[in-house]
Each structure stands twice: as structure tokens, then as C-alpha cells.
Structure 1
């Protein structure tokens, strides 16, 4: 039977108004997790009052 482990990554915007996301930095983090064997299974955009938000990325990888 296959077994998996899961990891959730929380990415929040930066800047004075909390509205800046650095796509290149996010790509670096996601690519590094991919090299470690993690596969993204979902991404959720959590809006709060329409102006402040956070992204949750959930990954899985098979355990040995």
C-alpha cells in the first residue's frame, strides 16, 4: 500500500499594503520542493475582506 506525507506552505503578500507577491521567489520555492519530490495537489487563495489574502499550497510525496 502506498503511503504519503503532506506539507502545507503558506505564502503571504508583502509590502506596506500587503499587496506584493514576488512570482520569481514563489517559483524558486515551488521548484525546490519539486526537486525534493513534493507534488502540489492543491492551492487555495484565502481572501479576507477582498484586500488582504494568503495562499496555501498543499503538497504530497510518497514515503518509503
Structure 2
């Protein structure tokens, strides 16, 4: 049976009321983890007031 390890990262959004994700830094970090063998399995946002995005959470896995 395959065994997995998991890794979670959080990206803070910017802007007066949040919701602005700095895409270059986001992609750079995703590509760095991908080159280390991590596979992105889920990505979602958390909300603050009025539905603005507060943070983006990405979950990765790779075989042990």
C-alpha cells in the first residue's frame, strides 16, 4: 500500500479589504514544491467580512 505525506501552505491576500493574490509569488511557490515532488491536491480560500478572500490555502501530497 502507498504511504503519503502531506504539506499545507497559506498565502495571505493583499488589498484594503483583502482578496488580491500576488500571482507571481503564488506560482513560484507552487512550482518550487512541484519540483520537490509535491502534488497539489486541494486549494481553497477563507473568507472575511463581505465575502472577501482572506487567505488561500493549498494542500499537497507526495509518496513517502
Q: TM-score range by the shorter chain?
A: 0.7 to 0.9
Gaps of 5+ in 2: none
Q: Aligned partners of 1:4 and 1:52: how far apart in 2?
A: 30
Partner of 1:3: 3
Following superposition, the deviation at residue 48 of structure 1 comes to 1.3
Residue 54 (structure 1) shift: 0.7
Deviation of 1:5 (Å): 0.2
The answer as to whether partners of 2:43 and 2:58 remain within 8 angstroms in 1 is yes
CA RMSD, Structure 1 to Structure 2 (Å): 1.3
Length-normalised TM-score, structure 2: 0.85
Structure 1 unaligned segments of length 5 or more: list them. Answer: none
User: Counting helix residues as a fraction of each chain, which structure ranks higher?
Assistant: 2
